[in-house]
Amino acid sequence: MSRKENNRFVNICSDPALPSPVSVIRQYLTNLTYKPPTMKVAVENYQHLQNNQFAWLGHSSVLLKVSGKTVLIDPVFHSFPGTRRFPQDNQIKINVKIDYLLITHNHRDHMCIKTLRELKGRVGRVIVPLQNYKYIQYIFPKHMVTEMDWYQQINENSVKIQLLPARHQSNRFADQNKALWGSYCVNDDIYFSGDNCYCKKTMDAITARIKPKYCFLECGQYSKYWPDSHSTPKQCIEMFKYLQGQVLIPIHFGRFRLAFHEYNDPVIQLLNEKDVFVGQIGKIYPLGQIGIEQLWL
């Protein structure tokens, strides 16, 4: 289970350093002049989504179907202050019932209140880490929401969902680390890192419980101004090797810019790696596919 100090959740490894106010202001001003790229976005009818298929919806948003159930992770379809949205951002439309909606933590690029309001009538059950219900209580009634601690799980309708640690932090309204963050494993073989910066102690805790085949791992929005908060592409590969996974699907890039590196830098650094799959935003793929499609026009 997770641990607290001074009424705040703490990481297994040391807590990441918070960005300085100067770096935050610099990031904001840089994004004001940044020209968002044009990327290929597939407009799909997700009613056609079949078992063991998924669609990466940009950044960390993933739609998945397993055991006949539809799972949506960290849906964010809108920009927020300080970001520059890519031009194709409004093309993604979710037109299916969501059996399980998973949210890894309360940062605005993972928990988007506007997006959740739009999904409200199509969601069956919501799963969040501890102390996160308060942020969504006016959208989803309590009986629909399950708050979980690290290592807790639900197992129903042939779907198993387990909350696991991540090295990161939470903050929504100047409430630093008052709510828990984490990563998820679905059906023992599909792992979603959320925002999990590589750390051996954290990875030991995760691999003691799961041996996933398909690994959706963050690889973008890293910066020297907030070290240990986000994994670099190199750390992403290290995490994948530690998990002993079969297919790596990199996430946490491709919808908007939150750091100073170019939007396609993570993919360029991963080009020479085997067992990596990067597809078009929005397009439906089988879980076992490997390769890199052309993302930009």
Higher pLDDT, 241 or 30: 241
Q: Smallest Cα–Cα separation from 197: which of 230, 165, 219?
A: 230
Q: Which long-range contacts (CB under 8 A, 24 or more apart) does 228-232 make?
A: 228/13, 228/14, 228/16, 228/17, 228/167, 228/197, 228/199, 229/16, 229/17, 229/19, 229/168, 229/169, 229/195, 229/197, 230/195, 230/197, 230/259, 231/193, 231/196, 231/197, 231/198, 232/269
The first and second tokens of residue 282, run together, are: 């929005």
DSSP state of 90: G
Q: Smallest Cα–Cα separation from 115: which of 134, 94, 87, 133?
A: 94
Coil/strand/helix, residue 176: coil
Asked if the structure places residue 11 within a domain, the reply is: no
Asked if the structure places residue 53 within a domain, the reply is: yes
Judged against a pLDDT cut of 70, whether residue 90 lies above it is answered with: no
The first and second tokens of residue 296, run together, are: 């930009």
Q: How confident is the model at residue 238 (pLDDT cuts 50, 70, 90)?
A: very high
Higher pLDDT, 16 or 286: 286
Q: Which domain holds residue 192?
A: 37-292
Asked if the structure places residue 30 within a domain, the reply is: no
| pLDDT one-digit tens code per residue, 116-174 | 999 999 999 999 999 999 999 999 999 999 999 999 999 998 999 999 999 999 999 88
Judged against a pLDDT cut of 90, whether residue 35 lies above it is answered with: no
The first and second tokens of residue 10, run together, are: 């703490």
Q: Cα–Cα distance between 221 and 276 in angstroms, integer?
A: 19
User: What's this model's pTM, rounded to 2 decimal places?
Assistant: 0.95
Judged against a pLDDT cut of 50, whether residue 266 lies above it is answered with: yes
Higher pLDDT, 172 or 82: 172
Asked if the structure places residue 12 within a domain, the reply is: no
User: Phi/psi of residue 149, each to 5°?
Assistant: -95, 165
Q: How many domains does the chain have?
A: 1
Q: Smallest Cα–Cα separation from 109: which of 87, 134, 82?
A: 82
Look up the CATH number of the domain holding residue 227.
3.60.15.10
Asked if the structure places residue 3 within a domain, the reply is: no
Question: What's the mean per-residue pLDDT of the chain?
Answer: 91
Asked if the structure places residue 105 within a domain, the reply is: yes
How many other C-beta atoms can be found within 10 angstroms of the C-beta atom of residue 200?
Answer: 11
Asked if the structure places residue 1 within a domain, the reply is: no
Q: What sign for the dihedral angle of Cα 221, 227, 233, 235?
A: negative
Q: How confident is the model at residue 87 (pLDDT cuts 50, 70, 90)?
A: low
Asked if the structure places residue 255 within a domain, the reply is: yes
Which H or E run includes 191?
Answer: strand 190-192
Query: What's the confidence (pLDDT) of residue 102?
Result: 98
| pLDDT one-digit tens code per residue, 161-214 | 999 999 999 999 889 999 999 999 999 999 999 999 999 999 999 999 999 999
Query: What's the confidence (pLDDT) of residue 85?
Result: 66
Judged against a pLDDT cut of 50, whether residue 21 lies above it is answered with: yes
Mean pLDDT of 35-59: 89
Judged against a pLDDT cut of 90, whether residue 82 lies above it is answered with: no
The answer to whether the CB of 226 falls within 8 A of the CB of 19 is yes
The answer to whether the CB of 38 falls within 8 A of the CB of 297 is yes
The first and second tokens of residue 129, run together, are: 């880490």
Judged against a pLDDT cut of 70, whether residue 296 lies above it is answered with: no
Q: Cα–Cα distance between 149 and 133 in angstroms, integer?
A: 13
Query: What's the confidence (pLDDT) of residue 297?
Result: 45
Mean pLDDT of 22-28: 79
| pLDDT one-digit tens code per residue, 93-120 | 898 999 999 999 999 999 999 999 999 9
Judged against a pLDDT cut of 90, whether residue 83 lies above it is answered with: no
Q: Residue written as tokens 């350093």?
A: 17
